[in-house]
Chains A and B, each alone.
Chain A
Amino acid sequence: MARPLGEATREAYGKALAELGRENPNIVVLDGDLSKSTMTKYFAQEFPDRFFNVGIAEANMVGIAAGLASAGKIAFASSFACFVMCKAFDQMRLAVAYSGNNVKIVGTHGGISIGEDGVSQMGHEDIGLALSLPGFVVMVPADAAETRAAVRAAAEHVGPVYIRVGRPKAPIVYENGCPDFQIGRAITVREGRDVTLIANGLMVAAALDAAEALEQEGISARVLDMHTVRPLDEATIEKAARETGAIVVAEEHLLYTGLASQVAMAVARLHPVPMRFVGLYDYAESGAPDALMRKYGLTADDIAREARELVNMRQKAAV
């Protein structure tokens, strides 16, 4: 049932950036001494004049990116998700969000699936922080193909963008590329009637696996790839709430602030239905990525369990 692994989304990001660099001389890239990990190295190798390694100084990096953007550049700035969002949050607030500068922040090593390096390197809260910045588009692509599409869309969008990508190889969700990708438009990756699984990032593949398992039990689960957390595709969420009557949201992120909270607000306002949430309530720890995902409840089994309970609850109520 496990899907074949493709490139890591950070790898896809790095290659997409180099591709964009060839097409658009206005693109500049900044990194904070992690270009070999964020994969901005591909751009750096091809376009050394347009690449600025600022050293280990994330606040300065985002400030410089804002200055470059205000002078007309499309500035991509990268570091690990936790470092760029946490250390440069004030700069993103004032010099990027409030100023409306055309800066694209790409945080790599998002989530706990980075594994052995442990909590200090993991992005547990990067999406919540990005969502706290008015005007920021926030995206979490599911696999390499979708990452390429998201990076391209980010370059075309005028205004601040945050994209979270991950460290490990990502299961392939889009075998034939992601040609219909649009910011703010969820992709229905599987149709279903009884329950809707809404996910992004690595959790999309997990949700698809969960849907296959549920099918064996006679439960038809719809799966939405909510790659854009803001602007949120409320129409597709409302439709799913009306048509399936139950929603599970899964994300590799603290549940206090992220996709789950955003979807819950939309569902509460537009068409309230029972909901369950799969995500983090605390910091993780060091360990093998798969083992961490199991221990912290971020697997297909966890999603399937929550969906099954929602469907069972409804059946009991109907009796």
Chain B
Amino acid sequence: MVTTDVSVEQLERTARKLRRHIVKMLAIAGSGHPGGSLSAIDILTALFLGGIMRYDPKNPRWEERDRFILSKGHAVPALYAVLAEAGFIPEEWLWQLRKIDTPMQGHPSVKDLPAVEASTGSLGQGLSIGLGMALAARLDGRQYRVYVMIGDGESEEGQVWEAAMAASHFRVGNLTAILDYNRYQLDGAIGEIMSIEPIVAKWEAFGWAVREIDGHNMQEILDALHWAKEPREQPSIIIAHTVKGKGVSFMENNNEFHGKAPTQAELEQALAELAD
């Protein structure tokens, strides 16, 4: 299924709605990761709802589908929000986030939700798995693409760079990474904990096609995702400069909300700020 003819304004409105879903599901769950979910949601909205990815919500395991792996698995509220909006899961499930006896695990679990492509949450693993899928597409002569979102803190993991080296060596043009560069990790600012700079030069040196964007500018996101689909014999990465907690004033660049759910009062304020 390809969603087409969605305007930038519609996508922005949808992203705002999904931000409301994110803060609400986290407030109900009472725990979870708002900061990195809100920084990622514009990109996920464009990917799933902007006519970029091919999928069929009625048949989540359709063999020709494009794949998306959320390697920074703690941002799963953002993933669940787009999966609901795309029709993979009912919206009511969002309010069961992190609850026992539900498929809404605290980090993505492929066994619990068929719409999830890979179980993640131990950082660093997603790009390798995505590379495996991209290689399988080539072996089987299939046309699907694989998208993997990684975090900036996650980029400190050695496995990311093992996968980066291998993807370039195996010349997989159907693999696209997206770096959600929100500049904070759990313990503080990336630059203070463990700098990943010069990040563009690193990916270029590993042989990837690199494009930098503002990860909250819907038009730039869409343009970059179309750029990623251009035929080439190397993997591509979109380095998206984002704001942790984007859209909720008291969460923006406030690392207290890396892994803390909003209270009821904070939820109300957040919903007011995110109103249409």
A: which residues have CB within 8 A of B? 28, 49-50, 52, 54-55, 57, 59-60, 62-73, 75, 90-91, 93-95, 98-100
Q: Is the CB of B110 within 8 A of A70?
A: yes
Q: Range of interface residues on chain B?
A: 20 to 34
Nearest neighbor of A66 in chain B, beta-carbon distance: B129
A215 to chain B, nearest CB (A): 50
Known interface pairs A67-B130, A99-B118. Does A72 touch B136 (Cβ–Cβ under 8 Å)? yes
> Which residues of B sit under 8 angstroms from A73, Cβ to Cβ?
136, 139
Query: Within 8 Å of chain A (Cβ to Cβ): is B81?
Result: no
Task: Report how far A66 CA is from B159 CA in the complex, Å.
Answer: 14
In the complex, given contacts A63-B125, A64-B128, A70-B110, what are 16 additional A-B residue pairs having Cβ atoms less than 8 angstroms apart? A28-B139, A54-B166, A57-B159, A63-B163, A64-B129, A64-B132, A67-B131, A67-B133, A70-B129, A70-B133, A71-B133, A75-B132, A91-B159, A93-B122, A94-B122, A95-B128
Instruction: Please provide the 10 A-B residue pairs with the shortest distance between their CB atoms, ordered closest to farther.
Output: A67-B132, A63-B128, A71-B136, A60-B162, A64-B132, A57-B162, A67-B129, A68-B132, A67-B133, A99-B119
Task: Report how far A52 CA is from B162 CA in the complex, Å.
Answer: 14
Q: Is the CB of B128 within 8 A of A94?
A: no
Task: Report how far A99 CA is from B128 CA in the complex, Å.
Answer: 15
The interface residues of chain B, by DSSP majority, are classed as helix
Interchain Cβ contacts under 8 Å between A and B, 23 examples: A49-B139, A50-B139, A59-B162, A60-B162, A64-B132, A65-B132, A66-B129, A67-B131, A67-B134, A68-B136, A71-B136, A71-B140, A73-B136, A73-B139, A90-B125, A95-B118, A95-B119, A95-B128, A95-B129, A98-B109, A98-B111, A99-B110, A99-B111
Nearest neighbor of A90 in chain B, beta-carbon distance: B122
Residues 135-179 of B at the A interface (beta carbon under 8 Å): 135-137, 139-140, 158-159, 162-163, 165-166, 169-170
Task: Report how far A93 CA is from B130 CA in the complex, Å.
Answer: 17
CB contact between B132 and one of A55, A71, A98, A100 (< 8 Å): that residue: A71
> Which residues of A sit under 8 angstroms from B120, Cβ to Cβ?
94
Q: Is the CB of A64 within 8 A of B166?
A: yes
Known interface pairs A70-B117, A94-B121, A94-B125. Does A64 touch B139 (Cβ–Cβ under 8 Å)? no
Task: Report how far A225 CA is from B89 CA in the complex, Å.
Answer: 49
Q: Is the CB of B119 within 8 A of A94?
A: yes
A17 to chain B, nearest CB (A): 17
> Which residues of A sit under 8 angstroms from B166, Cβ to Cβ?
54-55, 57, 60, 64
Task: Report how far A50 CA is from B117 CA in the complex, Å.
Answer: 22
B: which residues have CB within 8 A of A? 63, 109-111, 117-122, 124-125, 127-137, 139-140, 158-159, 162-163, 165-166, 169-170
Known interface pairs A91-B128, A95-B125, A98-B109. Does A68 touch B135 (Cβ–Cβ under 8 Å)? yes
A156 to chain B, nearest CB (A): 20
Q: Is the CB of A63 within 8 A of B133?
A: no
Task: Report how far A62 CA is from B163 CA in the complex, Å.
Answer: 11
Best-surrounded residue of A70, A72, A73, A75 (most CB of chain B within 10 A)? A70
Q: Is the CB of A91 within 8 A of B119?
A: no
B165 to chain A, nearest CB (A): 7
Nearest neighbor of B133 in chain A, beta-carbon distance: A67
> Which residues of A sit under 8 angstroms from B170, Cβ to Cβ?
52
A315 to chain B, nearest CB (A): 53
Best-surrounded residue of A62, A64, A65, A70 (most CB of chain B within 10 A)? A64
Task: Report how far A67 CA is from B124 CA in the complex, Å.
Answer: 14
Nearest neighbor of A60 in chain B, beta-carbon distance: B162
Task: Report how far A167 CA is from B251 CA in the complex, Å.
Answer: 57
B125 to chain A, nearest CB (A): 5
> Which residues of A sit under 8 angstroms from B118, Cβ to Cβ?
66-67, 70, 95, 99
Task: Report how far A84 CA is from B66 CA in the complex, Å.
Answer: 30
Task: Report how far A95 CA is from B140 CA in the complex, Å.
Answer: 22
A128 to chain B, nearest CB (A): 20
Task: Report how far A60 CA is from B135 CA in the complex, Å.
Answer: 13
Nearest neighbor of A64 in chain B, beta-carbon distance: B132
Best-surrounded residue of B110, B120, B124 (most CB of chain A within 10 A)? B110
B173 to chain A, nearest CB (A): 16
Known interface pairs A55-B165, A99-B119. Does A63 touch B110 (Cβ–Cβ under 8 Å)? no
Best-surrounded residue of B109, B121, B132, B137 (most CB of chain A within 10 A)? B132
Nearest neighbor of B121 in chain A, beta-carbon distance: A94
Nearest neighbor of A30 in chain B, beta-carbon distance: B132
Q: Is the CB of A68 within 8 A of B159?
A: no
Task: Report how far A68 CA is from B142 CA in the complex, Å.
Answer: 13
